[in-house]
Every structure is written in structure tokens, then in C-alpha cells.
Chain A
Amino acid sequence: MNQANQKMSADDIEALLPWYAAGTLDAREADQVEAALAADAELTRRLELAREEMAETVLLNESLGVPSPRVMENLFKAIDSERRRSRAPAAGGGMGGWLMDLFTPRAFAFAAGAAVVIMVLQAGVIAKLALQDRVETRSSFEPASAPPAATRGLEIGSFALVRFAPQANMADVTRFLDAHDAVIVDGPRPGGPGGLYRVRIARRYVGKEELERLVKEFQSASNLISMAVPSE
């Protein structure tokens, strides 16, 4: 008897209820569990027990909170440090696997370029050709002294959440960000129409007062920026 035709015992079926409740059975197993459930009210009741367990397990885990920002900081500091030490492509460079692509400088460059694209779409004033130039040259948001593209936006610094004004155009935004040595590192984030972007506004950690001062500079550029607040 091949596997597809194998009929599971009642005990086998019952053992699978947690996975059925979680929706992680394959189609064949799920079909057999459903057939058994249709014929057995007690089994259905036991499935409800599993669903209760699942609901409380999720609640319990969700109550555990989230890791602090220091985790990300430590991680990318360590990666940056290893990159500098090795002066070579990312660990395992040259080997296959789609996951490696996530770590390549080109991928990060693309991600940064994509952030520019999104910002420009929001502003709604930039021609496609100009946008491609921006992505290809990657100059506007990457000063010559910036770290490698692979770590861009990931290093330690001070950040703000920014929403750009609808009328802002790319040239002006670029000049403004360059003038403030700022880089878009993430976005858009949920936060209403227009989207929020995470912008690194200082290359190092600054105190609360200095951060607020920098954010005020962004807020004062009301023709370009409709909202700016300090961010973790």
C-alpha cells in the first residue's frame, strides 16, 4: 500500500489535531483528519481543545515583548566590523543560494535605491528617467565618505521618522538630505497617506537635545517635509 492510500488509525488522526488546528498539515493528512472529524463528534470536541491551547499559546508568546534596538545595533556593528576586517565580499562570497543575495552589497544598494524610488513616487514629480539615473548612480543619498552600500542605513546613528511633503521634488529633497548628511534607511512605514520613512539624520548617537535640534531643522523645511519626529 503506498503512502497516498494509507489510512491512518484513530490514534494517528488524534495525534495530528494540533497541526490540523494550526493549519500545517499537508493536504492528504488534512483530508483524512477532516473525514474523521465529520464522523466523530468527540474528535471535533478534542479539536476545540487544541484550538484553545493554540489561542492561549499565541497569547502567551505575544506577551513576551520584543527585543530592544540594541540587538540590531550590536548585530550590524559586528557585521560591519567583520566586513572591515576581511576586506572581502560577504562571508561565503561566490557561493550560490538565494539567501546570499540578501547580503550582497548590490542587494543593499538596490534596497537603498528602492527607498529612493518610493520617496519619489510619493512626491509624484520625478520623471522615470531621472529616477533610474538616481538608482544607478546612487550618489544623492550616499556621500563619498559613506560606508559600503552593504551596511548603508544599518550602522549606528540617530534617526527620525519623516513624511515628505506631496509637493517635494527629488532635486530639492536630495539637496536637503545631502546638506544634512542624512540618508533614507527604511520606508515607507504604515502611518497614513504618504508613508513614513526612517531617515538617519546623524552618523553617530546624539543626545536627546541634539536629536531634537536636528529634527527641528527637518521640521523647518516645511516645503519638503510635512512631518518629522525622533525615532529609535
Chain B
Amino acid sequence: MQVLFARHQVRVYRFVLRLVGNQAVAEDLISEVFLDVWRQADRFEGRSAVSTWLLAIARFKALSTMRRKPDEELNEEMAGAIEDKSDDPEVSIQKKDKSAALRKCLEALSPEHREVIDLVYYHEKSVQEVAEIVGIPEATVKTRMFYARKRLSELLKTAGIDRGWP
């Protein structure tokens, strides 16, 4: 358990923190996640990666904590739960920092778009794994990722960066 915890705690924590937007809540949740894993270890059948299983449990718990049903979509209300301490995209552009602007726009995405982007780019989950974690069909995963990236381009364009796509 110690090895499992050491190996996965940081990524699970970051995934949960991005969902709930509160460090203390995220920490409490990952304790619960790993405790559940310890209790339910016999249910793990090895069909998916352990990290995928952990993220699915973490997502369920995070959504439950947010008093929402797990199969409901995340919404803008949750986006508001994340404190925003950085400059807005336009200010970032004024600083001629495209990278910062891109990160700012990533943070400005809706929770459901941010979630799929995090799972694909940061957690390196395949289409199938994202579908398993989020509980949606694989085709929906692809569509959601496309619209997340499209929205990102729109936000960047608003901030003065035209990526020429889509």
C-alpha cells in the first residue's frame, strides 16, 4: 500500500485538486480514495491500469463531495470554485508570454473540458481510459476533447492569439 500510495498520490491529488479547487478538501479526498482502494482491492481485476482505477474512484468521490451525481456533467459552478490568482489572458498577452496565456486559457476552460485535457495530456490516458474514468463513450471522449481544444483556441483568439485552428 505504501508503494501504491507513494507512486500515485501526487497525480491523484492534482487530479482531485483540479476538480474541487480546494487543497484541504483534495487532501481529505485522496486519503479516502486510497482507503477505499485498500478496502476494495479484491474488486480490482487488472483490466485497466491501477492509475485509471484510482482516477475513476477519485473522480467519483470528488463529484460526490461537490454534492453532484457522478454521471452528471461538471458545470461552470465548479469552475468558480477554483480560485484564480493570475492575470487574465489579455494581461498575459501584454506580457508577451504566450505560454502563460495558454495556461491561463487552460484554466479558463469549463471543468469538463479541463478534465478531459488533463486526463489526455497530463495523466496520459488513452481514449478508452478516459472513457472509463469519466464514464462516457469513447466517441464522446474524442468529441469532448475536440471541443475543449476548439474552446481553447477561441479563448486564445479573444486574448489576441490566433492559432489558425479550427
A binds B: yes
Interface, chain A (partner B; CB < 8 A):
15-16, 18-19, 21-26, 45-46, 49-50, 52-61, 64-68, 70-72, 74-76, 78-79, 82, 90-92, 95-100, 102-103, 108, 111, 153-154, 186
| Cross-chain contact A102 with B118 (CB below 8 angstroms) | no
Question: Min CB distance, A57 to chain B, in Å?
Answer: 4
Main SS class of interface, A? helix
Task: Indicate whether B61 reaches chain A with its CB closer than 8 angstroms.
Answer: no
Number of cross-chain contacts by CB at 8 Å: 140
Identify the B interface with A (CB < 8 A).
1-5, 9-10, 13-14, 17-18, 23, 26-28, 30-31, 34-35, 38-46, 50, 99, 102-103, 106-107, 117-118, 120-122, 124-127, 129, 142-143, 145-146, 149, 152, 163-165
- The reply to whether A67 and B103 form a contact with Cβ atoms under 8 Å apart is no
Whether B122 lies near A67 (C-beta < 8 A) is no
Q: Check A24/B165 contact, CB under 8 A, given A71-B30, A99-B50.
A: no
Whole-angstrom CA separation of A28 from B99 in the bound complex: 33
Taking a contact as CB atoms under 8 Å apart, the answer to whether A16 and B142 are in contact is yes
Chain B nearest CB from A146 CB (Å) reads 16
Question: Quick check: A95 and B142 within 8 Å, CB to CB?
Answer: no
**Among A45, A78, A100, which residue has its beta carbon within 8 angstroms of that of B31?**
A78
Interface contact A92-B42, CB-CB below 8 Å? yes
A50: B residues at CB distance < 8 A: 149
Neighbour of B14 across the interface among A19, A64, A103, CB < 8 A: A64
B93 to chain A, nearest CB (A): 14
Nearest-neighbour CB distance to chain B for A55, whole angstroms, equals 8
Q: State which of B3, B26, B126, B127 has its C-beta within 8 Å of the C-beta of A67.
A: B26
Contact A19 B120 (CB under 8 A): yes
Chain B residue numbers with a CB within 8 Å of A92 are 39-43
**Minimal beta-carbon separation of B144 from chain A (angstroms):** 10
A132 to B143, CA, bound (A): 57
| Distance in angstroms between the alpha carbons of A164 and B42 in the assembled complex | 39
The one of A46, A57, A95 in contact with B165, judged by C-beta atoms closer than 8 angstroms, is: A46
Q: How far is the CB of B154 from chain A (nearest CB, A)?
A: 13
List 18 extra interface pairs beyond A91-B40, A97-B45, CB under 8 A.
A18-B120, A18-B121, A18-B149, A19-B120, A24-B125, A50-B149, A53-B102, A53-B117, A55-B99, A57-B122, A61-B118, A67-B26, A67-B27, A71-B30, A78-B35, A97-B42, A99-B46, A103-B1
